[in-house]
Structure 1
């Protein structure tokens, strides 16, 4: 499989790859988190047969579905631990606020071990780390704790 990355000024980045079977697929990653999947004609690499727009939440969900090695539960001393990826959307009451305002560990027992941002990864973010729309929190805890934190971040 070959992959090509192209910067699209003012838009984001386009990733093109060709599968071993010869199918050309393109992903356009917009700066605002939106994604577009493009499927191209094998005989005409400029002819897009289908374009599928995805919201940031849809792109995250799809990436989890096609991940060949998903983060499954790990068993530790009789406690099932899971890793969750929690998107910070424009509807989150914590967008623009410090991570400490969530009181995640106190309220749910789950820990935020990293924040994925389009431009960087922040491992072990402290309570002063300011969350932004488009961030993805990587949380570890029980299934119940991670699910509760997902609800808190979503504003539920």
Structure 2
């Protein structure tokens, strides 16, 4: 199995938009979002990934087939100083529980050295398990998790749990 992390070019923005719809549909079971009048969820910041600095989008492929995406920026969810935030991360069902997500996100972390934060929805129990496992393993248990971090509400009003870690040293590299 060959897993690649490929930057999303402007010419592939519609492909990412389509994958974001699948991601938002799945996530709506946790955050209770509704579709708009066109039957879409929409992603307000998608265009910003090509018009602003410090936003990066990547496709995750398995054997040259789309398997998901990762989106990184430097716009933290909290007032704490960090360099990078994992804005979105999605692996399609077919590729879950095969190590694809773990491998891909560790590669993405390795691409951006510094202080990280990532937010998870506590009702998404599969995500809770995944992120607890991945962040713990990647950082050698050198991270901080703040549950129900103030002012990090999802659309349903649930406060997000936020991980903080620094991968400048002491993290498992996948490069």
Q: Same fold by TM (over 0.5)?
A: no
- Return the index of the structure with the highest Cα Rg: 1
Q: Which has the higher helix share?
A: 2
- The structure with more strand, counted as a fraction of residues: 1
Q: Which has the higher contact order (CA 8 A, sep 6+)?
A: 2
TM-score of the aligned structures, taking structure 1 as reference length: 0.26
